[in-house]
Amino acid sequence: MLQSTTMTYLIVGKTRESVQPLLKNLLEKLWNREVRDEEIFSEKNPDIHILDGRESNSLGIEDIKRLQKEMMFSPFKERVQIAYILDAEKLTPQAQNSLLKTLEESSGNTAYILITKNDKSLLPTVLSRCLKLYTNINLQEDIESKYINILEIDTVEAFVKIEEIAKEKSSTESFLRELERYFQAELERKLVEKNSIIGVSSNIKQVMIAQKRIKANGNKRLILENLLLHLVR
């Protein structure tokens, strides 16, 4: 059974080769079978579609429209059909807006995988639709944090810590960045181990929602308390 709740992924890595191990784990999760290295970008597979921006200065609306047409049909042989966008940072703002509409309407048997060297070049609206994966992220045990233990203590004690964190916007934003990094590392580990990613995917989305609300100058303490209550332990 396919256990992922999101079908749009953003993988950040410097080269196509550097993202291959992560892609292999992701494809095995989506297709529910073992995947050979040579299959990852194989255009012989009718369920793999590639928009390659590596040799282009930019990717425009017409490029996205061509990809959309290829993705109109149901998968031919796999559980999920894959659309790769290589060098996604080259998408123009107009192309990103066109892609956004597609992402919002994509079905459960379609996965869009954006691969980029720099996720800061993508629109916030696109980023909010993606589950981000980093090729060079450290695992949880390597993350030193004065915040992460908040996930391991009881709710009353956690709320006391949140009250302290929420006094300043800078500490609130730092806390949320660290939580996002922690859950991204957990996501990568679960992909490698072929475990369910439903809970961690939900947690990443909740953190992103909280970040958006903080940027909109919402009540810091209430936002963090609400986040803590919605996290899957």
Q: In this structure, what token pair is assigned to residue 62?
A: 């017409």
Q: What was the pLDDT predicted at 61?
A: 95
Q: Report d(CA 135, CA 11) in Å as an integer.
A: 7
Q: What was the pLDDT predicted at 149?
A: 78
Nearest CA to 92 among 52, 54, 64?
Answer: 64
Q: What was the pLDDT predicted at 147?
A: 67
Q: In this structure, what token pair is assigned to residue 30?
A: 């989506």
Q: Report d(CA 129, CA 208) in Å as an integer.
A: 10
Q: What was the pLDDT predicted at 84?
A: 96
Q: What was the pLDDT predicted at 145?
A: 58
Nearest CA to 173 among 149, 208, 138?
Answer: 208
Would you kindly state where each structural domain of the chain is located, as residue ranges? 1-136, 139-233
Whether this model's pTM surpasses 0.85: no
C-beta contacts of 188-195 below 8 A and 24+ residues apart: 188/22, 188/133, 188/134, 188/137, 188/139, 189/139, 189/140, 191/22, 191/25, 191/26, 191/29, 191/133, 192/25, 194/25, 194/28, 194/29
Q: What was the pLDDT predicted at 133?
A: 83
- pLDDT < 50 regions, the chain: 1-6, 138-144
Q: What was the pLDDT predicted at 107?
A: 72
130-162 confidence digits (pLDDT tens): 888 877 554 444 444 556 778 888 888 889 889
1-136 folds as Rossmann fold (3.40.50)
From residue 221, give the alpha-carbon distance in Å to each of 86, 153, 207.
39, 18, 14
